[in-house]
């Protein structure tokens, strides 16, 4: 039986997985053309590259008015502002997502009301959403993660019944489809990140897809210093400068060209991964809803059985990383992010509503189990390294399986390093 690399054996893989972003001369040419045009900035908004990008992005997603801006956090904040959501309002967000999903409502002055996820797909649980609704609730921000999508039928029904705005956080799901409709086109707004790690990227950037023309005009005004976008209005309103540059758009135009074939490639390898891991002891897949008609892969998440392996996901990942495999434990549960501690915030919201910010009293059992015991995240790069990339991962898992009697001891011996190595754990306000 081969020794674990962590204990001095040979790693399963020494070759790095393919880098991201992918680029070649096409990006250089597009940027060069924009540099030579002399039109670098975003003002007057939108510039020609941005207009072209917006049209192509809407077309690719099959709907909505696309408004690019500086990132995929501001997108959600301005969607809330455009919908008139702010002080005293409540916005329902899942307990298992990047902090941005809850930070955006806070920055708009609203209260993020955190609810648990479904154990089936790690996306927000519609029943928990329903339970969290109060007269102050104004919006829901479902986040589609793990190559899965939120049950959008249930979310849209709830939103309709309670007159709520839906902002889909599609930062992980560019191109994924629910009943053949792309993520981000089902709710009132779809928020996309173009951050360096995301599967359509311009280094930094975001796109807000708006269903409604009036809302889109308001958003365009909000991100362009409050300049009027509606021909009837003469005056500036309150707004900020969240404009995207033409240089970003130059990269975005090439990224959109590359995207469809990258998506197909990842999907083909995801199928191969699932075939290869089918029936693997102690490993389960998240449920695949038949209404999810097209998948998109940013982070693929499997569930491990901690009892079977004798360790939690953090130790599991630590051992696999030593084997040369790109895995991690993903997000902490939302209530463990340090930045939501009221003492760190001068926002008036916590003082007015202390009960919403008692993070120690909060409990989200499904998100906690995912984050602290079961979830193993894989970077999309494993789907761009051919069958060998998947085979290496499977061989790493087999090796770990064969050595699982050593894992409890590794968990104890390397405890400090495992905590330090797993990035999400560094965000936690207390050890779990």
Ligand X SMILES: *Cc1c(COP(=O)(O)O)cnc(C)c1O
Name the nearest CA neighbour of 51 among 229, 251, 192, 253.
Answer: 253
For the bound state, the minimum distance from the C-beta of residue 338 to ligand X, rounded and expressed in Å, comes to 18
Task: Tally the C-alpha atoms within 13 A of residue 146's C-alpha that lie toward its C-beta.
Answer: 30
Rounded CA-CA distance 306/70 in Å is: 40
For the bound state, the minimum distance from the C-beta of residue 101 to ligand X, rounded and expressed in Å, comes to 5
Structure-token pair, residue 403: 């050595």
Interface with ligand X (CB under 6 A):
71-73, 97-98, 100-101, 143, 169, 171-172, 193, 195, 198, 206
Q: Which is nearer to ligand X, 204 or 391 (CB)?
A: 204
Query: In Å, how far are 97, 133, 169, 206, 216 from 152, measured between CA atoms?
Result: 17, 17, 12, 22, 22
Q: What is the DSSP code (8-state) at residue 383?
A: G
Q: Which is nearer to ligand X, 143 or 418 (CB)?
A: 143
Name the nearest CA neighbour of 256 among 71, 40, 53.
Answer: 53
Q: Which is nearer to ligand X, 195 or 336 (CB)?
A: 195
Q: What is the DSSP code (8-state) at residue 15?
A: S
For the bound state, the minimum distance from the C-beta of residue 282 to ligand X, rounded and expressed in Å, comes to 28
For the bound state, the minimum distance from the C-beta of residue 70 to ligand X, rounded and expressed in Å, comes to 8
Q: Which is nearer to ligand X, 229 or 299 (CB)?
A: 299
Residue 200: φ, ψ to 5°: -120, 120
For the bound state, the minimum distance from the C-beta of residue 425 to ligand X, rounded and expressed in Å, comes to 18
Q: Apex CA 155: angle with CA 330 and CA 63, to 5°?
A: 90
Q: Which is nearer to ligand X, 117 or 418 (CB)?
A: 117
CB atoms within 10 A of CB 218: 22
For the bound state, the minimum distance from the C-beta of residue 103 to ligand X, rounded and expressed in Å, comes to 9
Torsion of CA 400, 401, 404, 406, to 10 degrees: -40
Q: Is 346 exposed, middle or buried (0-12, 13-18, 19+ CB in 10 A)?
A: exposed
Output helix, strand, coil percentages for the chain, rounded to the nearest 5: 45, 15, 40
Structure-token pair, residue 206: 């975001």
Q: Which is nearer to ligand X, 146 or 273 (CB)?
A: 146
Cβ contacts of residue 258 below 8 Å, gap of 6+? 22
- Which spans in 89-162 are helix H? 100-107, 126-132, 152-162
Q: Which is nearer to ligand X, 123 or 407 (CB)?
A: 123
CB atoms within 10 A of CB 242: 23
Contact predicate 382/276, CB 8 Å: no
Q: Which is nearer to ligand X, 207 or 393 (CB)?
A: 207
Rounded CA-CA distance 380/182 in Å is: 19
CB atoms within 10 A of CB 155: 25
Rounded CA-CA distance 313/432 in Å is: 13
State yes or no: is 198 an active-site residue.
yes
User: Of residues 138, 198, 229, 399, which has the active-site annotation?
Assistant: 198
Rounded CA-CA distance 198/21 in Å is: 9
Active site members? 198
């Amino acid at each position: 039986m081969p020794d674990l690399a962590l204990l001095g054996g040979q790693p399963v893989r020494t070759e790095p997985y393919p880098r991201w972003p992918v680029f070649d001369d096409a990006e250089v040419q597009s940027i060069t053309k924009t540099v030579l045009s002399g039109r670098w900035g975003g003002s007057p908004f939108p510039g020609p590259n941005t207009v072209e990008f917006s049209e192509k992005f809407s077309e690719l997603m099959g709907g909505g008015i696309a408004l690019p801006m500086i990132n995929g956090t501001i997108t959600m904040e301005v969607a809330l502002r455009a919908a008139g959501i702010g002080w005293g309002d409540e916005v329902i967000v899942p307990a298992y997502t990047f902090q941005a999903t809850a930070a955006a409502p806070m920055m708009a002055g609203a209260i993020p009301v955190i609810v648990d996820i479904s154990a089936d797909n790690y996306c927000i649980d519609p029943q928990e959403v329903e339970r969290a609704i109060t007269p102050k609730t104004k919006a829901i921000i479902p986040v589609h993660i793990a190559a899965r999508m939120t049950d959008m039928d249930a979310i849209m029904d709830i939103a309709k019944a309670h007159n709520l705005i839906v902002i889909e956080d599609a930062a992980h799901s560019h191109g994924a489809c629910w009943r053949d409709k792309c993520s981000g086109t089902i709710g009132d707004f779809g928020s996309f990140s173009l951050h360096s790690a995301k599967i359509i990227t311009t280094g930094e950037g975001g796109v807000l897809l708006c269903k409604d023309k009036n809302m889109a005009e308001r958003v365009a005004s909000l991100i362009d210093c409050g300049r009027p976008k509606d021909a009837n209005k003469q005056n500036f309103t309150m707004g900020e400068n969240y404009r995207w540059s033409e240089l970003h758009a130059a990269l975005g135009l090439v990224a959109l060209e590359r995207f469809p074939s990258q998506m197909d490639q990842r999907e083909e390898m995801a199928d191969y991964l699932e075939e290869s891991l089918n029936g693997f002891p102690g490993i389960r897949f998240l449920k695949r809803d038949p209404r999810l008609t097209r998948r998109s892969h940013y982070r693929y998440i499997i569930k491990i059985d901690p009892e079977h392996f004798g360790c939690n996901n953090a130790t599991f990942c630590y051992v696999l990383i030593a084997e040369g495999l790109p895995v991690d434990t993903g997000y902490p549960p939302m209530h463990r992010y340090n930045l939501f501690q009221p003492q760190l915030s001068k926002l008036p919201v916590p003082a007015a509503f202390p009960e919403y910010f008692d993070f120690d009293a909060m409990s989200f059992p499904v998100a906690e189990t995912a984050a602290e015991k079961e979830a193993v995240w894989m970077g999309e790069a494993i789907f761009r390294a051919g069958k060998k990339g998947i085979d290496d991962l499977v061989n790493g898992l087999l090796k770990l399986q064969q050595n699982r009697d050593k894992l409890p001891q590794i968990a104890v011996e390397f405890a400090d390093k495992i905590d330090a190595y797993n990035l999400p754990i560094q965000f936690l306000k207390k050890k779990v």
